[in-house]
Amino acid sequence: MMAGLQAAELCYPQLLNSSCSGVMRPRSETVLLYTLLSSVAVLTVALNLLVIISISHFRQLHTPTNLLLLSLATSDLLVGLVVMPLETVRFIEACWLLGDLMCALSYIIGFTLTSASVGNMVLISIDRFVAICYPLQYPSKITRGRIELSVCLCWAGSFLFNGLVLKDHLGQPDKHNSCSGECVVVIDYVSGTVDLVFTFVGPCSVILILYMRVFTVAVSQARAVQAHVTAAGARTVTAKKSERKAARTLGVVILVFLLSFCPYYYPSLAGQDISNSASSWAFVSWLLFFNSCLNPLIYAFFYPWFRKAIKSIVTLKILEQNSSQANII
């Protein structure tokens, strides 16, 4: 056994041979891991809460695109608030001590939030596609009501889809456990393939196709403006500079998102079952979760309005009368 590690102990000693044995981490390592992972969770919650407060409070930010960012920030906040703490306990402790029902619910919640994030990314891509490629039709096609309906359908579809994929696990959460004290979920090849197509391959194909078109049009429009080729009367059909900048920023968000997702879906792409007992599970799952912390950092780097909003929130200026009417863009 590795030096410095304590002897393996039973999860539930009173159950004797029906209880799992696990290697206990040294106290110093346990404290370090809890501090590090808890800090990531707190940072994720804090940053996404700033996004939610900013978009909800300031009237100028009540745009269709920002409503999609609000939905994405909500799923990211829930990842930091619910999923990360549960995964921290799962990763650090030798045994699962929260019971079979919480084991099942933790995965359903995590997979639902992941699917909702993917759906939000697809909606963001559609929004940018219409804004850049059809600027005249954008106000009539992308309305607040349609965005709200799309977001609701996205979340409802995520709950329904993942409930169906994990219904057997919810009905019998200890199905794949070999002893008391385990929390093992296995998504078989068939379910994993369905999940791969509907949650990764299909949405990512849509995202990539739309963004290839968006960047092609955005580049041609930028060149036309720089070369002063566009006639004054035809400028109205060219997307605004702010729209093109938003497309670039959200393109970075989507690129980081795809890079975070690819390792998680590698087993399905390789024709294997997805299991949380695999040695690589901790790495791929935390890489996926860390994406929820990165999104607000990308906004802060690319969006001046987000930096202004943070300053107003931190200095408590949002408590002043009529602060919601402030010019922040």
Mean pLDDT of 237-258: 69
Domain boundaries, the chain: 8-322
8-322 topology per CATH: Rhopdopsin 7-helix transmembrane proteins (1.20.1070)
Please enumerate in sequence order all residues whose Cβ is within 8 A of that of 324, keeping only pairs 6 or more positions apart, or say none.
Answer: 57, 58, 59, 318
Residue spans of beta strands (DSSP E) within 160-252? 186-187
Query: Which of 254, 266, 328 shows the shortest CA–CA distance to 294?
Result: 254
Q: Residue 227: its pLDDT value, please?
A: 66
pLDDT band with cut points at 50, 70 and 90 for residue 153: very high
Q: Position of tokens 């159950």?
A: 15
Residue 231 CA: distances (Å) to CA of 98, 138, 223, 238: 66, 21, 13, 11
Residue 248 has pLDDT above 90, yes or no: no
Residue 298 CA: distances (Å) to CA of 21, 34, 261, 273: 42, 26, 17, 33
Calculate the average pLDDT of the chain: 79
pLDDT band with cut points at 50, 70 and 90 for residue 222: low
Question: Cα separation of 152 and 178, whole Å?
Answer: 39
Mean pLDDT of 142-171: 87
Q: Residue 290: its pLDDT value, please?
A: 85
Question: Distance between terminal CA atoms of the chain?
Answer: 59
Residue 40 has pLDDT above 70, yes or no: yes
Residue 51 has pLDDT above 70, yes or no: yes
Range in 186-195, 261-270, 317-326 with the lowest mean pLDDT: 261-270
pLDDT in tens, 157-183: 998 888 887 777 777 766 767 777 778
* CB atoms closer than 10 angstroms to residue 132: 25
Query: Which of 213, 215, 220 shows the shortest CA–CA distance to 237?
Result: 220
